[in-house]
Amino acid sequence: MTKLGTNSIRCLLKIWGTAFALLLCSPVLSQQLVYKDLFRGFERRFALLDSLIFKNGDAPQQYQQFRMYNGFDGTGMLAVDSLINDKVSMQKEAFKAENGLLVSGQSYYRLDEGFGIDDEDALSRYNAKVQVELRWNFLSSSLVHRDSRMKELELKGELERMAFLKDEIKELTEKQQIFFRAEYDSLLSGVLKLRIDNLKLLYDAQEYLVSDRSIGTDDLLKFMDEKAIAERQLESVPKDYPVASQLVYPAGAMVKIDTAGIRKHILENSLMLQEADLQIELLQQQEIGTTYWRTLNISPFVRYSYYVRPQIKNSSNIDAGIAFQIPLTSQQGRKQKAMKAERMQKIMEKDMLADYINEQVNLLFAEIERANRSIAGELERIRQLRKYLALRKENYKGHIGEYNFLTRIKEYNHYLTCWENYYLYQYSRDCCIAQLQNYLPDHSVLEFCTIIN
């Protein structure tokens, strides 16, 4: 073999050897690159989370204090008040105009002459007659039971006003809960995004270790499930909110309720109890007006008659008298007894309603107190974990103890989970406080709340 041929074979063997070595080393190089990317990813996460948790100075608070929705300015209620007042005034004027006077008349032509049955007497014979009568049924006028019937109109107007106010307060409560939902969605999603990103990093690191056959797949499935649960929570939020801007201990977390003051005010000013009082009073006024005398018709009258006579001069005459109709029935008395029974029933229902309102308010107080205790527990855990994370951060800087990226990111996730629970408890508590507004028609529930930092 020539020298040139030997060199060519050596060159080919060298190339094949280099290629084979590169093929053997490429997974190692690839794994090293993945490891470096994961390492840098963990370092970036730690720096970001530390900047949010350990902000210096007056960090802007994401949630300062309990706030109520103020979308109503009362213009709708004022407009309805004006319309109801105008309607009741016109109804009163219409009622006052009921004077019981009635004008009736008749005009007819007699056919007696054509049938041959007319009287021979010229005075009793006439071809046509025109008659006009003025009658006064004073028992159906506004003079009878005037005060009770006027009061009845006022009470019906008040009941209409009460119904509108109840609807408006119900709408206010619903909008208040929507307002809370949007506010807590923004806060919760801001923390969820941080935890989901941490879980993604944990999953990638776990997947790397599994592919490297350093560990089993149990933790990989656990992180997958935890990430899926957090992502489902985030997907339930209708809008895309930014990541949390800080994770410092929040201010204005606790809300203390003046339970004695709010309970007393509710029992004195509840719309449902006021409505029950109005219904009882309306039945009482209707009971007064439901009498036998209202069914009588005793009407003084004056009647003018004009006769067209064929043989002598036309004549006229004026009559005066009293017309009456007396029903032979006890219907009104029975109606009055039925109304009295209904009124007594309403009085009993009002007492039961007061007990029901008191029970519902006490249940809301209990839920608020339970949520406050849960909030206090989460705040204490946030405080303790923050101190723990600060201590661990210093230890990591000084290379004290074992340093594990996975363990450290899990510690941050524990802290984030406490914030998520804290926001969920606050949302539940604040919705209960908003429901108290249903029982306070003329005052804001905030007047009975004290914000405790």
User: What is the model's pLDDT at position 204?
Assistant: 86
User: Does residue 121 lie within any of the structural domains?
Assistant: no
User: Does residue 47 lie within any of the structural domains?
Assistant: no
340 pLDDT exceeds 80? yes
User: Does residue 7 lie within any of the structural domains?
Assistant: no
Distance CA 388, CA 407 (A): 13
Distance CA 207, CA 217 (A): 8
217 pLDDT exceeds 70? no
Judged by DSSP in three states, 189 sits in: helix
338 pLDDT exceeds 80? yes
Q: What is the CATH number of the domain that holds 284?
A: 1.20.1600.10
User: Does residue 250 lie within any of the structural domains?
Assistant: yes
User: Does residue 327 lie within any of the structural domains?
Assistant: no
User: What is the model's pLDDT at position 137?
Assistant: 83
- Stretch among 166-175, 218-227, 345-354, 400-409 having the lowest mean pLDDT: 400-409
Distance CA 235, CA 188 (A): 12
Distance CA 95, CA 435 (A): 41
* Percent of the chain clearing pLDDT 90 (strictly above): 26
Query: Could you tell me which residues are beta bridge partners of residue 320?
Result: 302
User: What is the model's pLDDT at position 59?
Assistant: 45
Q: pLDDT tens digit string along 36-84?
A: 777 788 889 999 999 999 876 444 444 444 565 555 555 566 777 778 8
User: What is the model's pLDDT at position 222?
Assistant: 84
What is the number of domains present in the chain? 1
User: Does residue 384 lie within any of the structural domains?
Assistant: yes
Q: pLDDT tens digit string along 263-309?
A: 999 888 888 899 999 999 999 888 887 777 777 788 888 999 998 88
Q: How confident is the model at residue 384 (pLDDT cuts 50, 70, 90)?
A: very high
User: What is the model's pLDDT at position 63?
Assistant: 44
Q: How confident is the model at residue 318 (pLDDT cuts 50, 70, 90)?
A: very high
**Among residues 155, 66, 94, 10, which one has the least CA distance to residue 368?**
66
User: What is the model's pLDDT at position 118?
Assistant: 60
26 pLDDT exceeds 50? no
- Stretch among 212-216, 351-355, 384-388 having the lowest mean pLDDT: 212-216
Domain extent for 337: 52-101+147-293+333-452
- CA distance readout (Å), 195 to 231, 377, 405: 10, 21, 15
User: What is the model's pLDDT at position 400?
Assistant: 65
**At a CB cut-off of 8 Å and minimum separation 6, what does 354 contact?**
267, 270, 273
Q: pLDDT tens digit string along 115-137?
A: 556 666 666 677 788 899 888 88
User: Does residue 69 lie within any of the structural domains?
Assistant: yes
Distance CA 113, CA 8 (A): 156
Mean pLDDT of 329-356: 87
**Among residues 272, 273, 249, 445, which one has the least CA distance to residue 365?**
445
What mean pLDDT value characterizes the chain? 80
234 pLDDT exceeds 80? yes
User: Does residue 17 lie within any of the structural domains?
Assistant: no
Q: How confident is the model at residue 424 (pLDDT cuts 50, 70, 90)?
A: very high
Q: What is the pTM of this model?
A: 0.73
User: What is the model's pLDDT at position 278?
Assistant: 92
